[in-house]
Structure 1
Amino acid sequence: MIRTILTDAQWERMAPHCLGKDTDPGRSGGDNRLFLEAVLWKARTNSPWRDLPDEFGQWNTIFKRFDDWSRKGVFERIFEAVSDDPDMEYAMIDATIVPVHRHGHGAKGGLKIRRSENRKAVGRPKSLP
C-alpha cells in the first residue's frame, strides 16, 4: 500500500489542468491522480524512476508521461492553480542543516595578526634593503 498525499480538495483544483481527461480528444491517460501521486513520490524521495513502487504502474511509462507534461507546461499550470493556498508543511527549514557563515558562529572579529612584544627579537624585515 502506498501513502498518498493529495487531498480531495487539492485534486479538485488540479484535475482541470491535467492532460488525458475523458473529455479531451484522443487517448485518455489512465488515472491522472495516481500519476500525480507518483510524481510527488519521486519528488519526495529523490529516488530514481526505476525505484518507483509497482502500485503506481510501470516506471518508464510514468517517466515518459512526466516528460510529456513537463514539455507542455502542465505542471506550471497545476502549480499556478494551487499556489494561492500554499501548504507550508514541506517548506519548513531545519536549522541544523543550514550552513552558517563563519561570523555567525559567535566568534568575535576573526583572525588577528598580533605584533611581537619585542621588535628587536623579530629582526629587520627581509623585504627592506
Structure 2
Amino acid sequence: MGRGDLTNGQWERLEGLLPVGKKPGRPRTWTHRQLIDGIRWRTRTGAPWRDLPERYGPWDRAYDLFRRGQRDGTWKRIFEQSQAKADAKCLITWDVSVESTVARAHQHAAGGP
C-alpha cells in the first residue's frame, strides 16, 4: 500500500457508493481498489496517465474507469453522497466568508500610449 492509498476504512465507505458491475464472468485482474488508488495517485501528482505506477494496474484501465465515472456521473454522485453523510454527522462547518476589498487603480494605470 502506497503512502497516499485508501485505508481499509476509507475503502469500506467508498465501496458502498460505487456502482455494482453488471457482467458476470471471469474475475478481474486488477481490483477496483487498485484502479481507484491509481486514479487518486494521478490526480494528486498531476503526472501523465502513462506514468501510473504498475502497482495500480495498466494506465489505460485506470483512465477508462476514470472517464466512465466522469461520463455517467459516478464521481459527482459519490461526492454528493459523501458530503451528505458528513453533513448529517455534523462534520462539515458551512461558514461563508465574503471578501469585500476593493482594489482601485489610477485611470492612467490602464496602459496605452
1:81–1:13 CA distance, 2 compared to 1 (3 A): farther
Counterpart of 1:6?
6
Q: Which runs of 5+ in 1 are unaligned?
A: 88-100, 104-109, 112-129
2:47 aligned with 1:50: no
Tell me the residue number matched to 1:36: 36
Q: Aligned residue pairs: how many?
A: 93
Pairs within 5 Å for 1:71-86: 71-83=71-83, 84-85=85-86
SS in structure 2 of the partner of residue 85 of structure 1: helix
TM-score using structure 2 length: 0.62
The answer to whether the 8 A contact 2:36-2:62 is kept is no
TM-fit CA distance, 1:31: 1.1
Matched position secondary structure for 1:17: coil
- The 8 Å contact of residues 50 and 59 in structure 1, kept in 2 or not, is answered as yes
Q: CA distance change for structure 1 residues 15 and 32 in 2, over 3 Å: closer, same or farther?
A: same
Maintained 8 Å contact 1:13/1:81: no
Q: Return the index of the structure with the highest Cα Rg.
A: 1
Residue 75 of structure 1: how far off its partner (Å): 0.7
Question: Do the aligned partners of 1:52 and 1:59 also contact (CA within 8 Å) in 2?
Answer: yes
Query: Is 2:22 the partner of 1:25?
Result: yes
Contact 1:11–1:33 (Cα < 8 Å) also in 2: yes
Percentage identity across aligned positions? 31
Structure 2 CA distance for aligned equivalents of residues 11 and 81 of structure 1: 15
Q: Which runs of 5+ in 2 are unaligned?
A: 92-100, 107-113
Q: Return the alpha-carbon distance in structure 2 between the equivalents of residues 14 and 75 of structure 1.
A: 11
Distance in 1 of aligned mates of 2:31 and 2:81: 19
Per-residue deviation, residues 67-95 of structure 1 (Å, max 9, x unmatched)? 112111111122123224399xxxxxxxx
- Mapping for residues 86-105 of structure 1, pairs under 5 Å: none
Normalised to the residue count of structure 1, the TM-score between the two structures is 0.55
Q: Which one-letter code corresponds to 1:37 in the other structure? A: D
* Native 8 Å contact 2:6 2:37 kept in 1: yes
The answer to whether residue 56 in structure 2 is matched with residue 59 in structure 1 is no
